[in-house]
Amino acid sequence: MVGVNERARVPFALLGVVLLVGSASITAGLGAVTPTREPATEAAVEQSRTSLGGVVHDATRAAARDAAASPVVAPANTTLGRTLASTGTPFRAALELRTYLAVRDRLSATTERGLTVEPSLPPLQDSTDIAAALARTTVEPVGANATAVRTTVANVTLTATRDGRVVDTYRVSPTVTVQTPVFALHERTASYQQRLDSGATEPGLARRATARLYGVAWARGLTQYGGGPIANVVSNQHVAVATNHALLAQQRATFGAADDTGRRAVRVAAARAAGTDLLAATGQSGQQIQQLLAGVDAATPGSTLDPVTAANPSTTPESTLNVAVGEQATTAFDRFAAADLETALAAPYRATVERRRVVTDRATTTTGHARPTGANWTLVGTEQTHETTVTSVEPTAGSPTQPWHSLATTARRVTETTRTERRWRRNHTARTTVETTTETRRVSIRLVARHDGGNAPSAPIRSVHERGGALDGPNLAAIEGRARTQLLGDEGTVDALARRTRSDDTTQTTVRGERPSELRDWVYRDIVRLREQVANVSVAVERGALGTYQVNPSGELAAELRARRAQLVDAPDAYDGVADRARVAARGAYLDAVIAQLERRADDRNGVKERFADLLAARGLRLDRLRSMMTARSQVTTPTSRSISGVGGPYSLDVDGAPAYLTLASVNRTQTDSLREGSVRPLAARNTNIFTVPYGDAADGLVGKLFDGDRVRLRSAARALAAGEELATHDTLEADVEAAVTRRRRGMRRVLRRAGVGDSRSERRRIVATGLGAWQTVAERALAVTENRGPDAVAAVAVRRSPGSFDGPADRDDLRRSLRAAATDGRGVPESSVTPHVERARQVVGKLAKQSVGRAANQTTTAVRERLESKTGKLAAVPSGLPVTPLPSQWYATMNVWDISVRGGYDRFSVSVPTAGRDAGSPTSVTVAPSVSTGTATESQRVRVRPRRSRSPTGRPSWSSSRPVDRASATWTATRTSALRDGDSVIASGWLVDMCSTRLPTGICSPAWCARCSRCSPSR
């Protein structure tokens, strides 16, 4: 038998797999063996690899130099431009493309022992090739401050041939590091552009220019109110100087250096503008601009004139202004003395008296029978008698609760007896019953009084119910007797009152005491002293916050007085009689009157704030943005020149802009070293002053109905008259002002007649004339009349000539108040006579200022100002601005707003690195040009990169064609605070707020003001 098993059998499919796997393993093993190269091939390849590193190094230098000289910042809408733009970093992409082309252009073959190694990179035919080239090439900044680059060109093909036969092919990716600050220059130039385009609340040109203009506005605003011949506080000339000064600051902050020529040019321009302490006219003429450019090199390089420092006063928006109650204390006093003083004095001599009747110990007893005993009795008649007896009893002890006190106390016992007799009948029997009911009650009658202290704090009063104390007055001694008479009467009256009292009852009345005859004058003098104390109470506020309505000084003053009320009232622990309490009550009532006056002013200011915000909103600006700009402006720091540390040592950058000073006039390109012909307008400014004069236009609309229709307040007209006494319009305005003063003279004479001053009309006329005789000109008299100095002088003359007409200081103050009221009551001056005078004054100031500006480049401010003043005398424009407080008699500050938009650009701008002592291959400058060309000579193809019309990183426009563009034809198309992109770069756009302190309250006049006025007055 043959055995059968499967041990020798292998499945066919499994055998096939094993064979296949074995075959693959053998093949893989054989393929992994690297053939041995010939020594000559190794040497040739290594030599080519070494040479390729030098090629990439040189190509990187050349590309960096070209990229710096002709940067690509905004690719055109072409195939190449879109490819560069798609990377997100067109400058770097263009540098990498330049490097790729420069490397490819420099590739050359090397031969070693008959073996030739040739490096190669693919040519660029279309956008796909360009994208591949950018993918192969990497150029990235390295080193400190990006002063070197690391370049890698990937997959460079090395082909080795011998006798025309390819021996081998290699791919290498050389990486080199090259010392070149091209990225440092580009990044700083881009940062410079960003600073030029930043908003007014961000670090950059707009914020710094705003800060510069603040100093100009503050200094010139103060000078204008001080009588300086300033027609426009912030003119376009100041805008140009401040903008150029801010441009230099941005250069120092970005590059560590500023254009030397530009710095000298700014000093020359500032010297011209500072001809009258920066009293600008309305702008520079073309001839002056040409003189400016021609004189740049002649300007003293070491000049210490700083166009902004010279204009910056010690007072800034961040400095505090002490706002005192000032004249408001007098205004409130006048109203209080006329209407409320009598009430305040009467209150402490008034007592509220109550007669309080209280029933206690009530009891009722009954004796006898109401009916006979038994049933069936019929009532046939009733007779009733009543008897009431009142007897005095000892009153119970006790005191009323404060603030009541007892004047008199008495008590009665009241007994009421009722006897009822009833007659009854039953059948023929008659019966009489008697029932007696007795009701008793105790009636306490008390007179209590409460002294009405008015506004005086509660405190004990010595000798309150007897004569004595201050003024040795009667105090409230008569109160008890008068209260008894009115509420109790005699004993019989008390008995009758007790008899009628069946339940608790209260009756109230007011009893007045007798006041000393000298009380009013005594208290009046005390309130006058308090008035001076209150007038000097002040709060400190930031001037800038005041101008942007972040603070309400009147509200803060009211809060300060409330907090200090107890201290100012100064109530004693115990009053020295009722007269003393009346004095303290009057002090409290006066303080309440001042607080109420300040609160009304605070409400008025809030109303002005709302209207001001509406006005700004209509002009495209929010009040909170003004506040943000105020805060941002104060954060400006002064940059300093510095070198840039980096690979190979520190780098000192040179900045060169053309024109060096961006002027508002057209400049020929021959002066800017431009290759193009024609002219260029480097700077354009739009400057709108919202509040031009303190009457009419926006200021009138915000302050409210301060003026009568089309009339101007007498004070404004008088100041306009004083501004130009030599003008042709002077006589017309003088006649109108004199007529307004005459009307007020008549009003003051009527006041004198009612006060019994003067025996005749002619006598009263002489009193008024004598009082106003201290002021010689019509303008001076008008100002004196409207500023209370005139009425006070008339009052002083009246008191001297008719002393018998006044019983005391109160009467004299009454006269003063009435005269002041008469001086402020009356129509103003027709606006038709004021406005032409003001405009003519401005024209004259502008003309004279321009004459001085042309000679001011190398003169001191003081000398030029003296020259101008010698020609203008007292000529000064009416100060402009919106009153911070809405009451015309209390203008302690004026706020103004300028809407300023500036645009412009350099015709040529470059930043260079001196090459002395450095590798000659390093880039020397970054220069802005209208277009950029790159290409490769080997294929004879040029790829033109044409930037679209946009802003370049240098503050000048990049155009879509190389033809010259006349910027003078550019028009304004954009709204405020937005970029103006219609042909020029926006280098600053924003708003400027100016806060000029002008009318300082009594007691805080600055030395500068005291030098101008004869005495401290809220109006000076």
What is the pLDDT averaged over residues 785-814? 87
Helix/strand/coil percent split, the chain, to 5: 45, 20, 35
Of 400-409, 730-739, 969-978, the one with minimum mean pLDDT is 969-978
Range of the domain at 505: 339-519
CB distance 793 to 771 below 8 Å: yes
Q: Is the pTM of this model over 0.85?
A: no
pLDDT band at 974 (very low <50, low <70, confident <90, very high): very low
In a domain, 5, yes or no: no
CB distance 158 to 171 below 8 Å: yes
Could you count the other beta carbons within 10 Å of the beta carbon of residue 244? 29
Check whether residue 428 and residue 473 sit in a common domain. yes
Residue 398 pLDDT greater than 50, yes or no: yes
Q: Across-strand partners of 426?
A: 429
Tens of pLDDT, residue by residue over 913-964, are: 875 445 544 444 444 433 322 222 222 222 333 333 333 333 332 222 222 2
In a domain, 961, yes or no: no
pLDDT band at 548 (very low <50, low <70, confident <90, very high): low
Structure confidence at residue 711 (pLDDT): 65
Residue 323 pLDDT greater than 90, yes or no: no
Helix, strand, or coil (residue 660) = coil
Tens of pLDDT, residue by residue over 371-385, are: 888 888 999 999 999
Structure confidence at residue 764 (pLDDT): 92
Structure confidence at residue 445 (pLDDT): 92
Of 15-19, 391-395, 611-615, 807-811, the one with minimum mean pLDDT is 15-19
Q: Which of 798, 827, 856 is the last residue of a domain?
A: 827
Q: Across-strand partners of 993?
A: 897
In a domain, 143, yes or no: yes
pLDDT band at 888 (very low <50, low <70, confident <90, very high): very low
Q: For helices 79-86 and 127-136, give the axis angle rounded to 10 degrees.
A: 30
Tens of pLDDT, residue by residue over 744-766, are: 999 999 999 988 898 889 999 99
Query: Measuring CA to CA, how many Å separate 53 from each of 103, 449, 678?
Result: 10, 113, 47
Length of the chain measured in residues: 1020
Cβ neighbors of 746 (< 8 A, separation 6 or more) are: none
Which range is most confident: 108-122, 665-679, 990-1004? 108-122
Residue 466 pLDDT greater than 90, yes or no: no
Structure confidence at residue 724 (pLDDT): 58
698 token code pair: 């926006």
Check whether residue 593 and residue 505 sit in a common domain. no
CA proximity to 512, closest of 467, 488, 481: 481
752 token code pair: 């004198």
Helix, strand, or coil (residue 242) = helix
C-alpha to C-alpha distance for 632 and 628, rounded to whole angstroms: 6
Helix, strand, or coil (residue 538) = strand
Q: Is 1013 exposed, middle or buried (0-12, 13-18, 19+ CB in 10 A)?
A: exposed
Q: Across-strand partners of 523?
A: none
Q: What percent of the chain has pLDDT over 70?
A: 65
C-alpha to C-alpha distance for 425 and 434, rounded to whole angstroms: 15
Q: What percent of the chain has pLDDT over 90?
A: 25
Check whether residue 773 and residue 624 sit in a common domain. no
What is the pLDDT averaged over residues 320-331? 86
| Sign of the dihedral through C-alpha 120, 126, 131, 132 | negative
In a domain, 150, yes or no: yes
* Mean per-residue pLDDT of the chain: 72
977 token code pair: 């605070």
In a domain, 946, yes or no: no
777 token code pair: 């000109």
Residue 309 pLDDT greater than 80, yes or no: no
Check whether residue 768 and residue 819 sit in a common domain. yes
In a domain, 539, yes or no: yes
C-alpha to C-alpha distance for 245 and 27, rounded to whole angstroms: 79
Check whether residue 326 and residue 410 sit in a common domain. no
Beta-strand runs (E) in 251-377: 320-324, 350-368
In the chain, the N- to C-terminal Cα span, in Å, equals: 146
In a domain, 766, yes or no: yes
C-alpha to C-alpha distance for 184 and 190, rounded to whole angstroms: 10
Check whether residue 165 and residue 104 sit in a common domain. yes
Residue 785 pLDDT greater than 80, yes or no: yes
Bigger pLDDT: 553 vs 623? 553
Residue 312 pLDDT greater than 50, yes or no: no
CB distance 744 to 794 below 8 Å: no
Which range is most confident: 41-45, 628-632, 861-865? 41-45
Beta-strand runs (E) in 669-777: 679-680, 683-689, 711-712
C-alpha to C-alpha distance for 844 and 903, rounded to whole angstroms: 30
User: In the block, which residue shows the tokens 């040479």?
Assistant: 51
Residue 310 pLDDT greater than 60, yes or no: no
Q: For helices 809-824 and 730-754, give the axis angle rounded to 10 degrees.
A: 150
Q: Please count the structural domains in the chain.
A: 4
Tens of pLDDT, residue by residue over 413-428, are: 999 999 999 999 998 8
Q: Which of 167, 184, 201 is the last residue of a domain?
A: 184
Residue 642 pLDDT greater than 70, yes or no: no
Structure confidence at residue 988 (pLDDT): 27
Cβ neighbors of 335 (< 8 A, separation 6 or more) are: 593, 597
What is the pLDDT averaged over residues 862-888? 41
DSSP string for residues in 370-420: SS-SSS--EEEEEEEEEEEEEEEEPPPP--PPTT-EEEEEEEEEEEEEEEE
Structure confidence at residue 447 (pLDDT): 92
CB distance 326 to 409 below 8 Å: no
C-alpha to C-alpha distance for 104 and 936, rounded to whole angstroms: 8
Structure confidence at residue 626 (pLDDT): 60
Check whether residue 767 and residue 819 sit in a common domain. yes
C-alpha to C-alpha distance for 946 and 686, rounded to whole angstroms: 31
Check whether residue 525 and residue 504 sit in a common domain. no
Q: Which of 808, 827, 846 is the last residue of a domain?
A: 827
960 φ/ψ sector (left φ>0, alpha ψ -120 to 50, else beta):
alpha
DSSP conformational letter for 537: -
Tens of pLDDT, residue by residue over 469-522, are: 889 888 888 888 888 888 888 878 889 999 999 899 999 999 998 899 899 999
Tens of pLDDT, residue by residue over 549-572, are: 778 888 999 999 999 999 999 999
User: In the block, which residue shows the tokens 């107890």?
Assistant: 566
Check whether residue 368 and residue 327 sit in a common domain. no
In a domain, 380, yes or no: yes
Structure confidence at residue 873 (pLDDT): 37
396 token code pair: 């119970």
Of 307-311, 709-713, 738-742, the one with minimum mean pLDDT is 307-311
Tens of pLDDT, residue by residue over 850-867, are: 444 344 333 433 443 444
Tens of pLDDT, residue by residue over 681-706, are: 888 888 777 665 443 333 333 333 33
Structure confidence at residue 932 (pLDDT): 29
Check whether residue 396 and residue 508 sit in a common domain. yes
C-alpha to C-alpha distance for 454 and 918, rounded to whole angstroms: 91
Structure confidence at residue 619 (pLDDT): 62
CA 438, 443, 444 angle in degrees (round to 5)? 160
CB distance 768 to 745 below 8 Å: yes
Tens of pLDDT, residue by residue over 718-740, are: 777 776 555 555 677 888 888 88
C-alpha to C-alpha distance for 438 and 366, rounded to whole angstroms: 6
CA proximity to 609, closest of 702, 678, 495: 702
Check whether residue 466 and residue 358 sit in a common domain. yes
CB distance 579 to 461 below 8 Å: no
What is the pLDDT averaged over residues 879-898? 50
C-alpha to C-alpha distance for 216 and 657, rounded to whole angstroms: 25
Residue 401 pLDDT greater than 60, yes or no: yes
Check whether residue 410 and residue 455 sit in a common domain. yes
Phi/psi of residue 599, each to 5°? -65, -35
C-alpha to C-alpha distance for 304 and 310, rounded to whole angstroms: 10
Residue 707 pLDDT greater than 60, yes or no: no
C-alpha to C-alpha distance for 139 and 133, rounded to whole angstroms: 12
